[in-house]
Structure 1
Protein backbone atom coordinates (compact mmCIF):
# COMPACT_ATOMS: atom_id res chain seq x y z
CA UNK A 1 0.00 0.00 0.00
CA UNK A 2 1.39 3.36 -1.03
CA UNK A 3 1.24 6.65 0.78
CA UNK A 4 -1.34 7.97 -1.67
CA UNK A 5 -3.60 5.03 -0.79
CA UNK A 6 -3.23 5.85 2.91
CA UNK A 7 -4.15 9.48 2.21
CA UNK A 8 -7.21 8.40 0.19
CA UNK A 9 -8.37 6.02 2.92
CA UNK A 10 -7.99 8.71 5.58
CA UNK A 11 -9.81 11.23 3.37
CA UNK A 12 -12.72 8.80 2.93
CA UNK A 13 -12.89 8.45 6.73
CA UNK A 14 -12.97 12.22 7.12
CA UNK A 15 -15.81 12.50 4.59
CA UNK A 16 -17.78 9.65 6.18
CA UNK A 17 -17.52 11.15 9.66
CA UNK A 18 -18.46 14.58 8.32
CA UNK A 19 -21.60 13.07 6.82
CA UNK A 20 -22.35 11.24 10.06
CA UNK A 21 -22.00 14.45 12.07
CA UNK A 22 -24.27 16.31 9.61
CA UNK A 23 -26.99 13.68 10.09
CA UNK A 24 -26.61 13.94 13.86
CA UNK A 25 -26.85 17.73 13.72
CA UNK A 26 -30.01 17.42 11.61
CA UNK A 27 -31.51 15.05 14.19
CA UNK A 28 -30.74 17.41 17.07
CA UNK A 29 -32.14 20.39 15.17
CA UNK A 30 -35.39 18.51 14.53
CA UNK A 31 -35.71 16.79 17.93
CA UNK A 32 -38.74 18.93 18.85
CA UNK A 33 -40.42 18.59 15.45
CA UNK A 34 -43.59 16.47 15.73
CA UNK A 35 -43.49 13.41 13.46
CA UNK A 36 -39.77 13.77 12.63
CA UNK A 37 -38.07 10.45 11.85
CA UNK A 38 -34.41 10.51 12.87
CA UNK A 39 -31.65 9.80 10.36
CA UNK A 40 -29.31 6.87 10.87
CA UNK A 41 -25.82 6.64 9.43
CA UNK A 42 -24.24 3.37 8.35
CA UNK A 43 -20.52 3.17 7.67
CA UNK A 44 -19.66 0.82 4.80
CA UNK A 45 -16.16 -0.58 4.21
CA UNK A 46 -14.93 -0.23 0.65
CA UNK A 47 -13.31 -3.26 -1.04
CA UNK A 48 -9.96 -1.54 -1.69
CA UNK A 49 -9.79 0.38 1.57
CA UNK A 50 -11.62 3.32 2.96
CA UNK A 51 -15.16 3.82 4.12
CA UNK A 52 -18.33 5.49 2.95
CA UNK A 53 -21.37 6.68 4.86
CA UNK A 54 -24.98 5.96 4.00
CA UNK A 55 -27.68 8.06 5.65
CA UNK A 56 -31.29 6.86 5.76
CA UNK A 57 -34.41 7.33 7.89
CA UNK A 58 -34.56 5.03 10.91
CA UNK A 59 -36.83 2.00 11.10
CA UNK A 60 -37.98 2.88 14.60
CA UNK A 61 -41.51 3.95 15.40
CA UNK A 62 -42.42 7.57 14.77
CA UNK A 63 -45.16 9.48 16.54
CA UNK A 64 -47.50 12.15 15.19
CA UNK A 65 -47.05 14.36 18.25
CA UNK A 66 -43.27 13.88 18.84
CA UNK A 67 -40.05 12.88 17.13
CA UNK A 68 -38.17 9.64 17.70
CA UNK A 69 -34.89 11.45 18.46
CA UNK A 70 -33.10 10.48 21.68
CA UNK A 71 -30.71 13.31 22.52
CA UNK A 72 -28.51 10.97 24.58
CA UNK A 73 -27.99 8.70 21.56
CA UNK A 74 -27.30 11.72 19.38
CA UNK A 75 -24.62 12.90 21.82
CA UNK A 76 -22.95 9.47 21.65
CA UNK A 77 -23.12 9.55 17.83
CA UNK A 78 -21.59 13.02 17.84
CA UNK A 79 -18.69 11.97 20.09
CA UNK A 80 -18.11 8.82 18.01
CA UNK A 81 -17.97 10.90 14.82
CA UNK A 82 -15.56 13.33 16.53
CA UNK A 83 -13.22 10.51 17.59
CA UNK A 84 -13.36 8.97 14.10
CA UNK A 85 -12.67 12.33 12.50
CA UNK A 86 -9.68 13.00 14.77
CA UNK A 87 -8.24 9.54 14.11
CA UNK A 88 -8.52 9.94 10.34
CA UNK A 89 -7.09 13.46 10.51
CA UNK A 90 -4.06 12.09 12.40
CA UNK A 91 -3.56 9.36 9.78
CA UNK A 92 -3.86 11.91 6.98
CA UNK A 93 -1.37 14.25 8.66
CA UNK A 94 1.11 11.40 9.19
CA UNK A 95 0.75 10.35 5.55
CA UNK A 96 1.34 13.92 4.41
CA UNK A 97 4.46 14.12 6.61
CA UNK A 98 5.77 10.88 5.11
CA UNK A 99 5.09 12.27 1.65
CA UNK A 100 7.15 15.36 2.51
CA UNK A 101 10.03 13.18 3.76
CA UNK A 102 9.98 11.16 0.54
CA UNK A 103 9.99 14.31 -1.56
CA UNK A 104 12.97 15.70 0.37
CA UNK A 105 14.85 12.40 -0.12
CA UNK A 106 14.07 12.45 -3.85
CA UNK A 107 15.52 15.98 -4.17
CA UNK A 108 18.81 14.88 -2.59
Structure 2
Protein backbone atom coordinates (compact mmCIF):
# COMPACT_ATOMS: atom_id res chain seq x y z
CA UNK A 1 0.00 0.00 0.00
CA UNK A 2 1.35 3.42 -0.90
CA UNK A 3 1.79 6.28 1.53
CA UNK A 4 -0.78 8.35 -0.34
CA UNK A 5 -3.30 5.49 -0.04
CA UNK A 6 -2.62 5.29 3.70
CA UNK A 7 -3.21 9.00 4.20
CA UNK A 8 -6.27 8.90 1.94
CA UNK A 9 -7.79 6.05 3.96
CA UNK A 10 -7.07 7.87 7.20
CA UNK A 11 -8.63 11.05 5.83
CA UNK A 12 -11.79 9.21 4.83
CA UNK A 13 -11.95 7.74 8.34
CA UNK A 14 -11.64 11.19 9.91
CA UNK A 15 -14.39 12.52 7.62
CA UNK A 16 -16.67 9.57 8.46
CA UNK A 17 -16.21 10.03 12.20
CA UNK A 18 -16.78 13.78 11.85
CA UNK A 19 -20.07 13.02 10.13
CA UNK A 20 -20.99 10.60 12.91
CA UNK A 21 -20.21 13.24 15.52
CA UNK A 22 -22.36 15.78 13.67
CA UNK A 23 -25.29 13.33 13.74
CA UNK A 24 -24.76 12.78 17.47
CA UNK A 25 -24.70 16.54 18.09
CA UNK A 26 -27.93 16.90 16.12
CA UNK A 27 -29.54 14.17 18.22
CA UNK A 28 -28.54 15.84 21.48
CA UNK A 29 -29.76 19.22 20.23
CA UNK A 30 -33.17 17.68 19.45
CA UNK A 31 -33.54 15.57 22.59
CA UNK A 32 -36.65 17.53 23.65
CA UNK A 33 -38.18 17.88 20.19
CA UNK A 34 -41.51 16.02 20.07
CA UNK A 35 -41.65 13.38 17.35
CA UNK A 36 -37.94 13.58 16.57
CA UNK A 37 -36.46 10.25 15.49
CA UNK A 38 -32.76 10.07 16.26
CA UNK A 39 -30.23 9.83 13.46
CA UNK A 40 -28.27 6.62 13.08
CA UNK A 41 -24.83 6.43 11.49
CA UNK A 42 -23.65 3.39 9.57
CA UNK A 43 -20.13 2.93 8.27
CA UNK A 44 -19.22 1.10 5.09
CA UNK A 45 -15.81 0.28 3.69
CA UNK A 46 -14.83 0.39 0.05
CA UNK A 47 -12.92 -2.33 -1.79
CA UNK A 48 -10.56 0.33 -3.13
CA UNK A 49 -9.88 1.58 0.40
CA UNK A 50 -11.42 4.10 2.72
CA UNK A 51 -14.69 4.31 4.56
CA UNK A 52 -17.87 6.37 4.39
CA UNK A 53 -20.54 7.15 6.93
CA UNK A 54 -24.19 7.42 6.01
CA UNK A 55 -26.67 9.06 8.33
CA UNK A 56 -30.37 8.24 8.30
CA UNK A 57 -33.33 8.62 10.66
CA UNK A 58 -34.03 5.68 12.92
CA UNK A 59 -36.25 3.11 11.21
CA UNK A 60 -38.15 2.35 14.40
CA UNK A 61 -38.84 6.01 15.17
CA UNK A 62 -37.00 5.69 18.45
CA UNK A 63 -36.37 8.87 20.41
CA UNK A 64 -32.95 10.08 21.61
CA UNK A 65 -31.22 8.23 24.45
CA UNK A 66 -28.56 10.52 25.92
CA UNK A 67 -26.50 7.61 27.28
CA UNK A 68 -26.21 6.08 23.80
CA UNK A 69 -25.40 9.49 22.33
CA UNK A 70 -22.54 9.88 24.81
CA UNK A 71 -21.19 6.47 23.79
CA UNK A 72 -21.48 7.42 20.11
CA UNK A 73 -19.60 10.65 20.83
CA UNK A 74 -16.79 8.76 22.57
CA UNK A 75 -16.65 6.26 19.70
CA UNK A 76 -16.39 9.09 17.15
CA UNK A 77 -13.64 10.76 19.18
CA UNK A 78 -11.57 7.59 19.47
CA UNK A 79 -12.05 6.75 15.79
CA UNK A 80 -11.10 10.26 14.70
CA UNK A 81 -7.98 10.26 16.89
CA UNK A 82 -6.88 6.85 15.61
CA UNK A 83 -7.22 7.98 12.00
CA UNK A 84 -5.44 11.25 12.79
CA UNK A 85 -2.46 9.31 14.17
CA UNK A 86 -2.33 7.20 11.00
CA UNK A 87 -2.53 10.35 8.88
CA UNK A 88 0.29 12.01 10.85
CA UNK A 89 2.42 8.89 10.52
CA UNK A 90 1.89 8.91 6.76
CA UNK A 91 2.86 12.59 6.63
CA UNK A 92 6.00 11.82 8.67
CA UNK A 93 6.87 9.05 6.23
CA UNK A 94 6.54 11.53 3.34
CA UNK A 95 8.85 13.94 5.16
CA UNK A 96 11.41 11.20 5.73
CA UNK A 97 11.32 10.20 2.06
CA UNK A 98 11.79 13.80 0.97
CA UNK A 99 14.74 14.17 3.34
CA UNK A 100 16.36 11.01 1.96
CA UNK A 101 15.76 12.14 -1.62
CA UNK A 102 17.38 15.55 -0.99
CA UNK A 103 20.50 13.98 0.51
TM-score by length of 1: 0.93
Unaligned runs of 5+ in 1: 63-67
Q: Identify unmatched segments of 5+ residues in structure 2.
A: none
| Aligned-CA RMSD value | 0.7
Aligned match of 1:79: 74
| Off by >6 Å, runs of 4+ in structure 1 | none
Offset, 1:48: 1.1
In 1: Cα distance, 2:36 partner to 2:43 partner: 23
Partner of 1:39: 39
- 1:61 positional shift: 3.3
- Distance in 2 between residues matched to 1:23 and 1:50, nearest whole Å: 20
2:11 equivalent to 1:11: yes
Give distance in 1, aligned partners of 2:33 and 2:46: 35
What is the count of residue pairs matched by the alignment? 103
Q: How does 1:80-95 map to 2 (within 5 A)?
A: 80-95=75-90
Q: Any conservation in 1 of the 2:12–2:51 contact (CA below 8 Å)?
A: yes
CA shift, 1:60, in A, is 1.8
Instruction: Give the distance between the partners of 1:14 and 1:33, measured in 2 at CA.
Output: 29
- Structure 1 position 98 matched with structure 2 position 93: yes
